[in-house]
Structure formats: C-alpha cells, structure tokens
A and B are shown apart, each in its own frame.
Chain A
Amino acid sequence: MYRNIYPLNLLPDSYSGLDILNINLKNLVMASSLSADKKVQASISEEEMVRISKKISRNFSPIALIDNKTKTLKNKISSQELLKVSQNINLYYAPKAVSNKKSLTLLSIDPRHIYVYWNLNKTNSATLLQSMYCNELVLRVYSEPEQNLAHVKAKPLIEVPVHNFQHREQLSIPKADKETMYSAYIGKCTANNDFTSIVKSNDLHISKAGSSFISPLSAEDISNNNEIDSIDSVSSPASHFAGTIRSGQKKP
C-alpha cells in the first residue's frame, strides 16, 4: 500500500530511462512545431518579417522595451561590483548608534517581563547629567495606558533611577490576572515629589499570565524584585521545536 508513496521506493530502477524518454519526447514536440513554422516562413520574406517585427515592437510593446533596457543595465553589474557596493555601504552606513531623537519604548517579553529602552537627546545634557548625578532622573512604569493617567500623578508600578542617556533593560512586572496596559515616563522627580516628565513611552499591552505560563524566574524572585534586572537574568530557553526548524537550522 505504501510502496507508491515512499520517497525512495517511488520509482523503478529504470527510471533514468524514463527521464531520457521525456527529453526525447520534448525534442520530438519541438521538431514538429519547427516544421510547422517553416511552412509559414515560406510565404513571407526575411526582410518583411524583420520589418513587421520592428513595427510591432515599436508600436505595441513599450513596457517590454523598458524592461529589456533595465535588464541589460542590471546585467552590466558583475557579481564583484555588487559585492563591492554591498561592502562599501556596510562599511560606511551600518547602524552604530541610534539617532539623537528622544524616545522611550516598551516591548512585551512575556506576562512577567517587559523590555524598555530609551534615548534621551543630549541637547540639555548638562541639566540631565546634574539630574542623573542627584538621582532625580527616574523611569516610572504605570499599569495604565497613557490616556488614563492624570498627568503621571498616579502611583507608579515601578520606579527606578536613570543613569544613562541611552539604555536597554528588562524589567520584571507582577503577575496580572487580567489583560493590562502599561505605559512609562522618564522625568525629573524633585524633593517634594513633583514629577516633570521628559519623555513618555508607547502604550504596551500585556496579556494575563495564563495557567500554561511558567516564568523563567520564580514567583519569589518576582515579588521581591522591582529593581531593573540585568538582561542576563532571563534563563536561556530550551529550544522549541516549532521554532527551531525555522530556516532549517536545528533538528529536535
């Protein structure tokens, strides 16, 4: 029953002969159509055919002409030239640092972790440095979307000092039993607890931690830890088969 569907049993030993037969058949078909063409050629001279061909080409296939031109141009670039262009561009334009545009971004890792990165432009660098030095510059994360916050006077879920103009970190968040929207601000916090925001983040949707989710950190770690984690604190995941075959790289 399975003889016919098994890949290596698929074909009889003489299959290569069939392959040759296929080619011969193809040649026969070509020969047949050539002889039919010859009959047509007999009634039209070569010059006339060239003239008709040119006329049709000129009047009816402008797109094809453009395509051919492009094709010729493309063919003019050798693989060495392509490589050189690629290398030159990589050498001078590879991304080295993000722009000086002010930004604060939140990303979802899983129901217990979010990823935050920021870039504070250096136009007021002296003031910012002073604030950093005095521990006045803080990142506040709220479990509310931006539009629900009464101008950041709500109690933040997480508050951590900011010591760098640019930074990327992972944060632990408490277990939520419902879908939660998060937002964050970086701003200056004064002695009388006034907060002046410098940059706000996107709103971030985090799903509730379902029964199937097992955090790489223990529950105790999370409840005791509202400090910024090092990114290394995420345990290295074992390979997931559904993902590992992507790009044909790893077998289960």
Chain B
Amino acid sequence: MNKGFLSIILHAHLPYVRHPEYESFFEENWLFEAMTECYIPLINMLDHLTDDRINYRLTLSLSPTLISMLTDDLLQSRYQHHLNKQIELAEKEIIRTRKQPQTQKLARLYRRYFINSRNTYQKYSGNLLSAFKKHHQQGHLELITTTATHGFLPLLNINSTTVKNQIEIGIETFKSNLGFSPAGFWLPECGYYPDLDKVLKKAGIEYFFTDTHAILDASKQAENGVYAPLDCGNGVMAFARDEDSSQQVWSAEQGYPGNINYREYYCDIGFELDQDYIAPYILDAKKRVNTGIKYHKITGKGLKKDFYDPRQAAIKVAQDAEDFISNCQQKISQLSSSMDRAPIIVAPYDSELFGHWWFEGPAWLESVLRLADKKTNNFKTISCRDYLQQQSNHQVATPAASTWGHEGYSSYWINEENEWIYPFLHQAADEMQQLATDFKSVTVSKLQQRVLNQAARSLLLAQASDWPFIMKSGTTTEYAKKRITDHLARFNYLQQSIRKNRIDEHYLLALETMDNIFPDIDYRRYAE
C-alpha cells in the first residue's frame, strides 16, 4: 500500500566551456566526458525504463549553460570527433593488450561502450536535449532549470536586476529550447535567502529546493520536518533535501560510490601509458588528460589496484540499490504513522556524479527506479510538482538562508581564494544597469543594440558560481581566474565602446562568436 513518496532530482550543470578561439581546448573535455559518461548513459537508462514499461518519475534540472552547449553546432561536431577518437583508442588498446586477456576483455568492453554512446548520440541526431524532451513528453521525466549561468544568488543580490535576470533569462532559455515553462527551479548550490521566493514567484515558479537546515531552521518549526514542503507565504513551495538519502550516495566514506568493487576514477590510461603511444589522444599530444579508459577498481586503501571486474561491480550495484530502497521503505513506514499527510523523501544529486565520478551510478539509479516500481513497496517515485497536485494546505513559514555547500552557507564561494571577485562583479552589475537605463529612452542603432546585448552576455558569464568554486577547490584555478577576468574585461571593453561611441564591428563579431550564449537576450531588461 502506498504511504509516501520518493523524489529523485538530478541537477545537470556545467559552466559554459566553448572555445572556438582554439582548435582544441582542455576544459571542453568536461562537457565531452559528461556527455559520454553521464548524459548519454542517463538517456540510455530512460530508454530502457520506457522500453520495459517501468512506471517511474524522475526530475532533471538542466542548466541554461548546459542546454546551450548541448545544442551548439561547434561543440556537437567536436564531441563527435572526441567520441571517434575514444573508439579509435579503445581499438588500439585491444591490439596492445592482446597478450593480457584480463585487460583486453576490458578494452573490448570500452570499445562497445563508446560505440553504444555514438549510436545513442546519432539516434538523437546529436541533440541530447531532444531525448530528454521525449521522455518529458512521455510523462516520466520532470524537467526544470536553474539560473542563466548558475550565478550564486546569495552573493549577487546586491543588485536586484542581477538576481531577477539570472532567474528570468534561465527560464527563458529553458523555454525557448524545451518549449514550455518549468514549474520547478534549482537554486544554484541550493543558495536561498528570504525574499528570493518572491522573485521566483514573479517568474512563475511553483517550487524550489533547499538544503535540510533551510527547513529545520525556518521561521517556524517545520511540523513535518523535511518530509513535507513549506509554503513561503506566497504559494511558492520549498522542498528540502533528506540528509540520510544524500549521505548514502554523496558520502565518500559511508556512501555507495566508495565500494572497493567499483571502478577507480583516478587510474586512467591517459596518465599511465607511454607518452608516444597515448599522444594522439591527449591534449595537443602533450598534456596528459583522462581518456575514459580505466582498468582498475577502487580495491582499498594502500593496496595495489586490482583489475576491474564488471560482474562483481554489477552484483554490488544490485545490493546497493536494494539497500537504498529498503531504507526508503523503513523511513516511509516510520514517517507515515506520525505525519498528517503522505511524506516525501527528497533526494537531489548532481547528475555528473552518476557515471563520471561513480561509473556504476547510472546502473544503480536504473536499479533503484526499477525496484521502486514494485507494487509491494510502501512508496512511489514522484515529482515535486505531482506531489503538490496531490497534497494541499502546506505549512507556511520562511526557510532559513542556506546552501548545500560546506558548512551550509556561503563560505565556499567567498573566502580568501575568491573574495576579490565580488567588488568587480557587483560593480559590473551596477554598470550594466546604468548602461541599460541610460540607453532605455534613446534610439539605438542595430550595432549599438548588439554591443549592449553582448555586454549583458559577458556579465552573465562572469557571474557563474563555478569560477569562485574552482578557485576554492584549487583545481583548475588559473582557468577560473582567466574566465572571470576575460568576461569582465569584455564587459568593460563593450561598455567603453558604447559610451565613447567607438564600436569596432570586427571585435564585436569576435565576441559574439566566442560568447554566443543567450541569442535572444535583450539588454533593456537590465534597465531600472
């Protein structure tokens, strides 16, 4: 008997990494890796579930930057090339490992895996968005979106037009690509502050997600904890992450992905094999990068890495999926007896976890959704939108300011590594607003209009939460600094061009070619 619900949300986002100014560019691989390892396996999973008539509900948040990249001609053609090179390398590996049967077996599997990716890619004519759209239309997949460039709103709300435009341009990009307005919204990094719901309300949003403590520390004690949404007072609902189901998947120590039988992410032949041999498959034949071919399993701390065994891993996937479902059943059973309504377990994850970091993640997710469809369960999968249609009269309270980052607030996005960016970002936002206001009542030429629109694009791209995040995490920090500096420099250049009325069309065209996101943007929306 159904007593409650499980809502799984995948948030798919990558920063805008598109570099036509280079023949090949390392950071574009982030997208290509995610396509092969995350998005295509996710689509395959959705196709399998549909083919097998599994009744499931899943929510996918697609960021506007990701949407733009997935539909971009240049990136699509570069991905095709990337995938062909992966297939070529796997074929070369089959020959190289002919005297190592264990390794060769895995090389063959990788070849099939990449070819399967290519087939799926071709099946959807290179447009993965169309696949997600198809599953949405079939009624199983709820699609939502986030801010335009994943701007971290708690640190950008100094300027009201920034928050408004990050949200509205995000929704419009989604709508122009998917053909409908989303009901739900993913706040980047779950960054919420009181009154943000009012901006969401104006944008037509019905619900959003927060971290656990946003509800637990709300203005009034949440009667049902995180297992029912809060009405922010204006009809916009806040759903909070369930900490237990997050820990089961996120936690490096106790979580499923750390099991010794799962594939080791860090052992990649791009870093292991002879330079001359691997050169055609790494960056500019020099810089070692992940190739996606990995032969070892996690094995255990301090032990020599064992060969990966797909069968062992598959057994573990089955066990972990059953464990997750069993925990959900127990929780629903406990909650339903003490709540005045059907409880909902909200389990949001970054979609790039599934397949990229956790190779077996898509298989686990598919298993979970299959098992969740059993009639003997005491819960069903649901989207938050459907839940709201079934349940009414929600408790009214204001969630607490919070994020899902380290320590639960903003410290990961403002600290000694990245704090210098905020005066520049706020200043540029003020200048954009002033620029739009100044030109609001003036007749502008088409060329001037293009400059103003491009300035808005540059500002949005500078505001991505990814740049301060990377600066703090200490990974590709130089790239993050360069991106934020480049976009602010482009904004400054465009602003001065129009203020001084010295517009170089060649330069403008170059910037439009490089930062071609948000083709329908209108600078007037930044005016006061």
Contacts and interface: CB of A to CB of B under 8 A. Distances in A.
Interface residues of B, number: 118
A7 B122 CA distance: 18
Interface centre among A93, A212, A231, by most chain B C-beta atoms within 10 angstroms, is A93
Contacts of B20: 79, 82
Interface string B88-121: 0000000000000000001011111101101100
Interface string A74-106: 100101011101100110111100110100010
B112 A8 contact: yes
Contacts, number: 277
Interface centre among A22, A81, A94, A242, by most chain B C-beta atoms within 10 angstroms, is A242
Interface residues on A, range: 35 or more
Interface string B211-236: 01100110100000000000000000
Interface in A200-244: 202, 205-208, 210-214, 216, 231-232, 234, 237-244
A38 interface: no
B50 interface: no
A231 B409 contact: no
A24 to B, nearest CB: 13
Contact of A249 (B314, B359, B431, B473): B473
Nearest to A106: B158
Contact of B406 (A90, A107, A239): A239
A97 B398 CA distance: 38
B352 A248 contact: yes
Contact of A242 (B258, B350, B422, B428): B350
Given A108-B401, A212-B213, A246-B13, A74 B112 contact: no
Interface centre among A79, A86, A119, by most chain B C-beta atoms within 10 angstroms, is A86
Nearest to A202: B158
Interface stretch (A10-18, A137-145, A152-160): A10-18
Contact of B122 (A2, A22, A98, A246): A22
A110 B407 CA distance: 8
Nearest to A76: B509
A121 B359 CA distance: 54
Interface in B4-24: 13-15, 20-23
Interface stretch (B127-135, B164-172, B280-288, B510-518): B510-518
Contact of B113 (A7, A212, A243, A250): A7
A225 B41 CA distance: 52
A110 B410 contact: yes
Nearest to B22: A79
B476 interface: yes
B331 interface: no
A205 B193 contact: yes
B158 A16 contact: no
Contact of B118 (A19, A113, A247): A19
B189 A2 contact: no
A30 interface: no
Contact of A93 (B355, B476, B490): B490
Interface in B226-263: 246, 250-252, 255, 257-258
B406 A214 contact: no
Contacts of A251: 265-266, 357
A249 B475 contact: yes
B119 to A, nearest CB: 6
Contact of B473 (A15, A234, A250): A250
B353 interface: yes
Contacts of B408: 110, 212-213
Contact of B409 (A9, A22, A110, A249): A110
Contacts of B251: 241, 252
B317 A2 contact: yes
B478 interface: no
Given A205-B194, A242-B404, A77 B116 contact: no
Contacts of B314: 2-3, 6, 9
Ranked nearest first, the 4 interchain pairs of A and B with the lowest CB-CB distance are A252-B252, A210-B217, A110-B409, A82-B21
28 contacts: A5-B48, A6-B310, A6-B317, A8-B106, A8-B110, A10-B112, A15-B115, A18-B119, A83-B22, A85-B510, A89-B490, A95-B427, A207-B217, A210-B213, A210-B217, A231-B415, A240-B405, A240-B407, A241-B251, A241-B252, A243-B405, A243-B412, A246-B13, A246-B465, A248-B356, A249-B476, A252-B255, A252-B258
Given A93-B492, A242-B350, 17 more contacts: A2-B363, A7-B355, A16-B115, A79-B22, A82-B21, A85-B507, A85-B510, A108-B410, A205-B195, A211-B216, A216-B407, A237-B407, A241-B255, A245-B357, A247-B475, A248-B30, A251-B265
Interface of B: 13-15, 20-23, 30, 33-34, 41, 44-45, 48, 106, 108-113, 115-116, 118-119, 122, 154-155, 158, 189, 193-195, 212-213, 216-217, 219, 246, 250-252, 255, 257-258, 265-266, 310-311, 313-315, 317-318, 350, 352-353, 355-357, 359-360, 362-363, 366-367, 370, 398, 400-402, 404-412, 414-416, 419-420, 422-424, 426-428, 430-431, 465-466, 469-470, 472-473, 475-476, 482, 485-486, 488-490, 492-493, 496, 506-507, 509-514
